[in-house]
Amino acid sequence: MQSIFRHVALIGKYHAVASGASGASSRQALEDIAHYLHTQGCEVFFEVQTAANMGITGYAALDVAAIGDQCDLGLVVGGDGTMLGIGRQLAPYEVPLIGINQGRLGFITDIPFDGFGATLQPMLAGAYEEDYRSLMQARVIRDGRCVFDALAMNDVVVNRGATSGMVELRVEVDGHFVASQRADGLIIASPTGSTAYALSAGGPLLHPSIPGWVLVPIAPHTLSNRPIVLADAAEISIEVVAGRDASANFDMQSLASLLHGDRIVVSRSKHRVRFLHPRGWSYFDTLRQKLHWNEGVA
């Protein structure tokens, strides 16, 4: 079976690590996958930073914009962090993404590296499940103007400073006052991000098909301040009222230092990320495997 995808971009982690049982470096893994794609009739490109940092030659290197214009599939080799980074960048181009896991958890890079060919072959021929994930558009508003903006696939987090006490945050939803809360911080998580920081802070799991977000306080002063699920059509505003050295981060990768009076405004992005999974893929299978449910059950 030949691939229905003619032009495939390979995106990898930017440092060499051992991959699971195979023991291959990330560079070797990428080259193995590139060779396999070539045997399936694909023209292979490397994301430019991946090629430069891995020292890979012999393939054309493209930046994100060129991948968006020229490629009909992105194949991400690494962990969820690698996928989050490239997913945000490629979402405006609607390039579908397949993830091969060389990280630890692998909630969204779900294909094991060992034996990847057997899994990829039917997918490349068109036998796959589609999975769309929403993005959040977050802005930091200071004195009436936007001083920082970013996309997030997992979460937007407002945190207290490392050496300071709690922050006081005023929360509004669609212009309606919700609460003023004192806590170590506040998480706004998408369904994708509900299995990340929000989960460790006591938030619920949201199925990816739910058009919602979850607001999760981090170590709140008032114990009745509990996580709440909201429609993702809402606009959420978080104002920093008090507290020193507060910051906002977006998928734990981009950071904005906050001043008193700053507002972090979060709304649903018009862009979505399109994941492809093997035929028969189930979100619940992923939860059982990654969260170790049913361990010890006969």
* Residues involved in catalysis: 80
DSSP string, 251-283: TTTEEEE--TT-EEEEEEEEEEEEEEEETT--H
The distance of Cα 258 from the centroid of its chain, to the nearest Å, equals 23
Tell which residue, 97, 17, 12, has the closest CA to residue 56: 12
Number of helices and strands in the chain (H, E):
7, 18
Terminal alpha carbon distance of the chain: 40
Q: Where would I find the H helices in the chain?
A: 26-39, 48-54, 64-70, 80-90, 116-124, 197-200, 283-291
State the chain's maximal CA–CA distance in angstroms.
61
Tell which residue, 43, 16, 29, 126, has the closest CA to residue 76: 29
